[in-house]
């Protein structure tokens, strides 16, 4: 490999390990798309995270690129089929951040059950709303996991360890333990999304699906923006159909427009800025996987 461009931040230890392979490493981890389009033709490989979007116009300029590595789970920020049609290998690190995302989803469930964010905000404002913040326990509740890949299975195992009953649905895999989506929606006290955003999964949860859910259901979305219809979620929160929601992903990131701003500002919503994979451990594993992929490519 002649030159490898690091377009987004990765662990410093991974950069050192990449340099030890003998590859020329160029770190420009805040490069803009305009700047990237000017220089990408010089590089045989590029490493991106979620920030850098690798679309067809950029791929057309990547005349010497032979590998694109996405540090993370999804590939929705890369036009994979088009890149592969140009002879470019596209790969990612799907296992490296799975546990981090599963733990965030579990933490969000605790936050919704015990009103942790609202209690903290009240205390910081000088309040003492003990009587207003009676919560519920996760033990004995039913957790519906939509998307039963690596992250979904990890969350399911953590839920079972807490005494939750777990039901799961996945549109891409067949397994005897999975149930139809309608059955999951009718049973679940908590619903957690762990699916990529594709044409198949776009607005998988919409107004019709919310109508099938239990009254007072709680929803966690640490998957991808667009899997859930945010306008339908907002209406369901206002009506009380959905008691609370925790969101780490949005159809626009950062959230733009009146609807998304109103959604994240609701007191029954816990909102975080797409931090699912943002743990020291996950970042280190992602870096290690990137190094391994480069070594395999060189071999």
In 109-182, at which residue ranges do the beta strands (DSSP E only) sit? 142-146, 165-169
**245 phi and psi angles, rounded to 5 deg:** -145, 150
- CATH 3.40.50.720 domain extents, the chain: 3-96+280-298, 98-271
CB 63 within 8 A of CB 245: no
Q: What is the pLDDT of residue 258?
A: 96
160 closest CA partner among 141, 184, 185: 141
47 closest CA partner among 34, 19, 64, 28: 28
CB 27 within 8 A of CB 67: no
Q: Into which CATH architecture does domain 98-271 fall? A: 3-Layer(aba) Sandwich (3.40)
C-alpha pair distances (Å), 88 with each of 82, 137, 173: 9, 49, 27
Dihedral sign for Cα 207, 212, 218, 223, please.
Answer: negative
80/74 Cα distance (integer angstroms): 11
Is 3.40.50.720 the CATH number for 3-96+280-298? yes
Q: Per residue in 70-117, pLDDT tens?
A: 998 888 899 999 999 999 999 999 889 999 999 999 999 999 999 999
Q: What is the pLDDT of residue 84?
A: 97
Burial of 195 (0-12, 13-18, 19+ CB in 10 A): buried
CB atoms within 10 A of CB 161: 9
Active-site positions read 224, 253, 274
CB 242 within 8 A of CB 105: no
Q: Per residue in 204-227, pLDDT tens?
A: 999 999 999 999 999 999 999 999
- Average pLDDT estimate for 21-30: 93
**227 phi and psi angles, rounded to 5 deg:** -70, -30
Q: What is the pLDDT of residue 76?
A: 85
pLDDT higher at 72 or 144:
144
DSSP-derived 3-state class of residue 27: strand
∠ CA 200-235-273, rounded to 5°: 65
Give the confidence band of 7 by pLDDT, cuts at 50, 70, 90. very high
- Mean predicted lDDT score pLDDT of the chain: 95
CB 84 within 8 A of CB 78: no
pLDDT higher at 20 or 177:
20
49 closest CA partner among 27, 64, 23: 27
Give the confidence band of 1 by pLDDT, cuts at 50, 70, 90. low
Query: Is the pLDDT confidence value at 171 over 80?
Result: yes
Query: Is the pLDDT confidence value at 176 over 80?
Result: no
71 closest CA partner among 140, 3, 8: 8
Q: What is the pLDDT of residue 299?
A: 84
DSSP-derived 3-state class of residue 63: coil
């Amino acid at each position: 490999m002649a030159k490898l461009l690091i377009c987004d931040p990765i662990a410093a230890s991974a950069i050192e390990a990449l340099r030890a392979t003998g590859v020329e490493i160029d770190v420009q981890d805040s490069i803009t798309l305009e700047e990237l389009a000017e220089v990408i033709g010089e590089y045989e490989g590029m490493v991106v995270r979620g920030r850098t979007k690798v679309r067809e116009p950029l791929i057309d300029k990547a005349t010497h690129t032979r590998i694109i590595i996405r540090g993370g789970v999804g590939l929705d920020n890369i036009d994979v089929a088009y890149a592969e049609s140009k002879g470019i290998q596209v790969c990612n690190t799907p296992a490296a951040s799975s546990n981090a995302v599963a733990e965030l989803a579990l933490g969000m469930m605790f936050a919704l059950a015990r009103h942790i964010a609202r209690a903290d905000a009240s205390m910081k404002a000088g309040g003492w709303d003990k009587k207003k913040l009676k919560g519920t326990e996760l033990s004995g509740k039913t957790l519906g996991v939509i998307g039963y890949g690596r992250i979904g299975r990890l969350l399911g195992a953590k839920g079972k360890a807490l005494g939750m009953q777990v039901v799961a649905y996945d549109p891409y895999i067949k397994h005897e333990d999975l149930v139809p989506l309608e059955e999951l929606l009718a049973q679940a006290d908590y619903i957690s999304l762990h699916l990529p955003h594709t044409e198949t999964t776009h607005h998988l949860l919409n107004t019709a699906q919310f109508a099938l859910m239990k009254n007072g259901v709680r929803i966690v979305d640490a998957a991808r923006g667009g899997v859930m219809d945010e306008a339908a979620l907002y209406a369901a929160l206002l009506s009380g159909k959905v008691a609370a929601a925790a969101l780490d992903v949005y159809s626009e990131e950062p959230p733009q427009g009146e609807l998304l701003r109103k959604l994240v500002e609701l007191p029954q919503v816990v909102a975080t800025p797409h931090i699912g994979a943002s743990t020291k451990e996950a970042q280190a594993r992602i870096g290690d996987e990137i190094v391994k992929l480069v070594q395999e490519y060189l071999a």
